[in-house]
Structure 1
Amino acid sequence: MTGDLLLLAVDDPLAVTVTGAIRTGDLTTLRRLLTAHPGLATARLVDHVGGAPGATSRTLLHVVTDWPGRFPHGAATVATLVAAGGDVDARFAGPHRETPLHWAASCDDVDVVDALLDAGADIEAAGGVIAGGTPLADARAFAQWRAAYRLVVRGARTTLTDAATLGLLDRVERACTGVVPPSADEIDAAFWGACHGGRQSCAGYLWERGARLNWIPPWEHRTALDAAVRRGATELVVWLRARGGVTAAERDRQPPGPTP
Structure 2
Amino acid sequence: MTIPNPHALDSLDPVAVAVTEAIRSGDLDALRRLLAEHPGLATARVVEEREGCGPGGRSLLHLAADWPGHVPRGPEAVAVLVEAGADPGARFVGAHRETPLHWAASNDDLPMIDALVAAGADIEADGAVIAGGTPLADARAFGQWRAARRLLELGARPTFQDAATLGLDEVVEAGLRATPPPTPEEIDEAFWGACQGGRLSTAVLLRAAGADVDRIGWGGLTPLDVARAGEAERNAEVAAWLTAAGARTHTETTGPDRP
TM-score of the pair, normalised by structure 2? 0.93
Q: Secondary structure at the match of 2:55?
A: coil
Query: Any residues of structure 2 matched to 1:187-226 within 5 Å, and which?
Result: 187-217=187-217, 219-226=218-225
Q: 1:174 corresponds to which residue?
A: 174
**Are residues 1:241 and 2:243 paired?**
yes
Q: Secondary structure at the match of 1:47?
A: strand
Structure 1 CA distance, aligned partners of 2:168 and 2:128? 22
**Are residues 1:228 and 2:230 paired?**
no
**Are residues 1:152 and 2:152 paired?**
yes
The code of the aligned residue for 1:10 comes to S
Q: 2:162 corresponds to which residue?
A: 162
Structure 1 CA distance, aligned partners of 2:89 and 2:19? 20
Percent identity of paired positions between Structure 1 and Structure 2: 56
Cα deviation for residue 195 of structure 1 reads 0.4
Q: 1:23 corresponds to which residue?
A: 24
**Counterpart contact for 2:216–2:250, Cα < 8 Å:** yes
Structure 1 CA distance, aligned partners of 2:117 and 2:10? 29
Cα deviation for residue 76 of structure 1 reads 0.7
Structure 1 CA distance, aligned partners of 2:127 and 2:229? 27
**Are residues 1:43 and 2:44 paired?**
yes
Q: Segments of 4+ in structure 1 off by > 4 A?
A: none
Cα deviation for residue 211 of structure 1 reads 0.4
Alpha-carbon deviations, 1:13-36, whole Å to 9, x = none? 111111111111111111111111
Structure 1 CA distance, aligned partners of 2:8 and 2:177? 51
The code of the aligned residue for 1:89 comes to G
**Are residues 1:75 and 2:75 paired?**
yes
**Counterpart contact for 2:97–2:127, Cα < 8 Å:** yes
**Are residues 1:87 and 2:68 paired?**
no
The code of the aligned residue for 2:7 comes to L
Structure 2 CA distance, aligned partners of 1:82 and 1:139? 24
Q: Secondary structure at the match of 1:46?
A: strand
Q: Secondary structure at the match of 1:104?
A: helix
Structure 1 CA distance, aligned partners of 2:3 and 2:40? 11
Q: 1:10 corresponds to which residue?
A: 11
Unaligned 5+ residue runs, structure 2? none
Structure 1 CA distance, aligned partners of 2:48 and 2:187? 41
The code of the aligned residue for 1:85 comes to G
Structure 1 CA distance, aligned partners of 2:54 and 2:120? 31
Cα deviation for residue 214 of structure 1 reads 0.1
Q: 2:133 corresponds to which residue?
A: 133
Q: Secondary structure at the match of 1:182?
A: coil
Cα deviation for residue 56 of structure 1 reads 1.1
How big is the alpha-carbon RMSD for the aligned residues of Structure 1 and Structure 2? 1.7
Structure 2 CA distance, aligned partners of 1:116 and 1:3? 25
TM-score of the pair, normalised by structure 1? 0.92
Structure 1 CA distance, aligned partners of 2:222 and 2:128? 23
Cα deviation for residue 5 of structure 1 reads 2.0
The code of the aligned residue for 1:158 comes to P
Unaligned 5+ residue runs, structure 1? 255-260
The code of the aligned residue for 1:226 comes to D
**Are residues 1:98 and 2:98 paired?**
yes
The code of the aligned residue for 1:245 comes to A
Q: Secondary structure at the match of 1:129?
A: coil
Q: 1:258 corresponds to which residue?
A: none
